[in-house]
Amino acid sequence: MPQARGRKRPPPRRRPQRRPLRPRRRRVNGRRRLLALLILSVLAFMAISGRLIVLQVFDAGSLDQAAARQRTTVIDLPATRGRIFDRNLNDLAISIPARSVWADPRLVKDKPGTAARLAKVLGVKKATLAGRLASKGRFVYLVRRVPKARGDIVQRLNLPGVFVEGAVARRYPSGSVAAQVLGFVDIDGNGQAGIEQQYDGLLRGNAGKILLERDPQGRAIPQGRRSLEPAEPGTDLVLTIDQHLQYVTEQALFRAVRQHKAKAGSVVVMSPPTGEVLAMANVPTFDPNRITARTKAEARKNRAIADVFEPGSTNKTITAAAALQHGIVTPRTETIVPDNIPLCPEKTFRDSHSHAPELMTFADIVAKSSNVGTIMAARDLGRERLYKAELDFGYGRKSGVDLPGESPGIVRDAKSWYCTDLGTNAIGQGVAVTVLQMASVYATVANHGVLRAPTLLRGTVDARGHIAKAARKPGRRVLSARTAKSLSKILEGVVKEGGTGTQAAMEEWRVAGKTGTARKPDNVRGGYRPGAYVGSFIGYAPAEKPAVVVAVVIDEPTRGYYGGSVAAPVFREVTGTALRRLGVVPTLPAKAVR
């Protein structure tokens, strides 16, 4: 036992310590991170792949178009606007080569320097060009439709971001001649008035274009896509206007307006058998080559078709025509005519000059322009027939002339006439007409009672230079040929001794016509304006076989105002020129010619 006690015990066994679990967790976390990274990579790949599919498959067309738009430039090729000729094929309006200069402001490196260099060439202020170059867009016009020589100089300067393109400019070789008839075009070449506007669809043609690709510096890519769509030129027009007659008419009218210190004036020259307008003049006028914002609207307006006036005694021709047509009178019908007639209790009409009761034939009543004698005939005629005659001659509606801006005039329905309206209508008051309408009235009488719609288009010219005549509307009979002949005889008496239009008489041809002197209404206060008149003379020649009708209207003359003194001399000068231009042989005996 002692040995047993003395025996050493073996040391206790140590339990093996467990290894910490942390390394295992690290491995798990690493796997998770790899898995997450893999998932994210897959998702990113899928997103990129999906985006690529969208871009390359679904949006490929639109992106390709967007890219093409960035490098593709379309240059418009303006069509050459059709020329306008007079009846003898003289140029009235032409189109000439020009240049337009534009810029891409983002490509212009030295904007002040570029503006300074261009200002010297283009004749535009430096500040104006600098302001345009300051634009934030990719395209801005610096100037448009400048002479070709200037554009070519800009082209040779080779300024970065500045480009020159072809253009067409409209020019009127005769300046202001027939300006209101021809009209003008705007900066885009669109007709804005007159024939230019009326026939814009024919004149403008169809524009073409060039499509090409440019690099970021604006230079054409040599191997890039290019295509050309050529422009189709507009149709050339031949007008009924005679350029020389138009010039003479304008000069004669201008002198009359200046001599009598008038506000304005108009003249219309027509061919009775065809309705062709040979000349249409207005004063004041303008130069369509120099149209600007400062050009007055009154100068651009074609007064002969746009403004209306009370015709005064020239309207007595319609009263006389209706009275003759319905058998109320004959040229030899005699009537005792006093110098006044009380048509209504509150209104008495008077002749322009007081006189004792006088025995007059109806022909004398017209020749001496008696208001009282005319109203007496109208009273027997009645308001319904007088009103119908005014409508038959074209009052109250547009004549149909091929020009924009025509007024229909003013005529009140006979059912709404007051007691005085029969008298006022008979002598040309209470109605309002245009100069062209009055010319058409006399052209109807001159054309044996058949009314022809006035026209300015004689024909068109095709690509081979052949002229195709314009279609004409059929005439409409207003008077019998017998009545028209009787009326012409009466109107001849107006220009003979004792008539009111002796200053319209011509040495080579017999003339028929009528004077007119009318007061101007006051549109603000009512009634008539003191001292404001319209003097006119309208007639035709030769009286036995009329070839030309001329209507002359002088607005607000202050040195004399009777139509026989302010308008008749213009008629004589213009009619003489017109008959000679038309080759009409003098019809009066040689001994009557001085």
Tokens matching residue 363: 């022909």
Average pLDDT estimate for 445-452: 97
Question: What three-state secondary structure class fits 1?
Answer: coil
Fold of the domain built from segment(s) 73-106+138-239? Penicillin-binding protein 2a (Domain 2) (3.90.1310)
Residue type, 52: L
- Reported as a pLDDT band with limits 50, 70 and 90, residue 380 is very high
Tokens matching residue 473: 């509307």
Which is more confident, 296 or 292? 296
Residue 217 reports pLDDT greater than 60:
no
Cβ atoms of 98 and 147 within 8 Å: the answer is yes
Q: How far apart are CA 103 and CA 419, in angstroms?
A: 71
Cβ atoms of 515 and 314 within 8 Å: the answer is yes
Q: Is 313 a catalytic residue?
A: yes
**340-342-343 Cα angle (round to 5):** 120
Cβ atoms of 454 and 400 within 8 Å: the answer is yes
Q: How far apart are CA 84 and CA 239, in angstroms?
A: 7
Average pLDDT estimate for 155-179: 92
Residue 433 reports pLDDT greater than 90:
yes
Q: Out of 266, 271, 313, 536, pick the active-site residue.
A: 313
- Reported as a pLDDT band with limits 50, 70 and 90, residue 12 is low
Please determine whether the domains at 73-106+138-239 and 243-592 fall in the same fold group of CATH. no
Q: For the chain, what are the domain ranges? A: 73-106+138-239, 243-592
Instruction: Write phi, then psi, for 394 (nearest 5 degrees).
Output: 105, 10
Sequence-separated (6 or more) residues with CB below 8 Å from residue 231: 77, 78, 79, 80, 205, 206, 207, 208
Q: How far apart are CA 246 and CA 84, in angstroms?
A: 15
Q: How far apart are CA 114 and CA 106, in angstroms?
A: 13
Instruction: Write phi, then psi, for 250 (nearest 5 degrees).
Output: -65, -40
Q: What is residue 192's predicted lDDT score, i.e. its pLDDT?
A: 93
Instruction: Write phi, then psi, for 238 (nearest 5 degrees).
Output: -115, 120
Q: What is residue 68's predicted lDDT score, i.e. its pLDDT?
A: 58
- Give the DSSP letter string of 280-349: EEEES---GGG--TTS-HHHHS-HHHH--B--GGGGHHHHHHHHHHTTS--TT-EEEE-SEEEEETTEEE
Tokens matching residue 524: 């603000």
Q: How far apart are CA 584 and CA 591, in angstroms?
A: 18
Q: What is residue 586's predicted lDDT score, i.e. its pLDDT?
A: 93
DSSP label of 544: T
Looking at every residue in the chain, the average pLDDT score rounds to 89
Cβ atoms of 289 and 300 within 8 Å: the answer is no
Average pLDDT estimate for 531-550: 96
Q: What is residue 48's predicted lDDT score, i.e. its pLDDT?
A: 84
Residue 1 reports pLDDT greater than 60:
no
- Reported as a pLDDT band with limits 50, 70 and 90, residue 41 is confident
* Architecture of the 243-592 domain: 3-Layer(aba) Sandwich (3.40)
Contacts 24+ apart (CB under 8 A), 223-230: 224/71, 225/72, 229/77, 230/77
Question: What three-state secondary structure class fits 501?
Answer: coil
